[in-house]
Amino acid sequence: MNTKRKTLQRQIILDTIKSLDIHPTAEELYLEIQKTHPIVGKSTVYRNLRQLAQDGIITQIFVEGVARYDKNPKLHYHFICEICRKIFDIELGGIDSFNSIIESKYGFKAIRHDIEFSGACSNCTACS
């Protein structure tokens, strides 16, 4: 099976996730797709999300044990607001140095790593 095959359904899923300003769950993405493309089935959305994440086109993250999908495949971190529950992308310099430190100090070859920050976002902080 060619996992890189471009299908209309895959393109609809990718276009939809790129149009959102959130890190949706598969179910949230499915419901969004249903608004304009009701012919795209739930299993198609779930299967293609897994494949897009495996192919490095999108990123799968876990927040409180729930898989969410990020349109940004570049290495970055996340901030989760404990008040409004929104997830924000955090770009930090020096990310690549983590892998170098892990390799030189421990001899490990890191493929990926996750760092998650939590607290109150600037909007929620301003409202309190």
Q: What's residue 45's pLDDT? A: 97
77-127 to CATH, choices 1.10.150.530, 3.40.50.2300, 3.40.630.30, 3.30.1490.190: 3.30.1490.190
CA–CA distance, 14 with 59 (Å, rounded to integer): 12
Return the bridge partners of 61, or none. 68
3-state class (DSSP) for residue 6 = coil
pLDDT digit string, tens, across residues 8-61: 999 999 999 999 999 999 999 999 999 999 999 999 999 999 999 999 999 999
For the chain, where do the domains classified as CATH 3.30.1490.190 start and end?
77-127
Least confident of 47-51, 115-119, 124-128: 124-128
- β 77-81/87-90 pair status: antiparallel
Largest CA distance in the chain: 53
Q: Where in the chain is the domain with CATH 1.10.10.10?
A: 8-70
The architecture CATH gives domain 8-70: Orthogonal Bundle (1.10)
Closest among 58, 49, 10, 52 to 27, alpha carbons compared:
49
**Average model confidence (pLDDT) for the chain?**
90
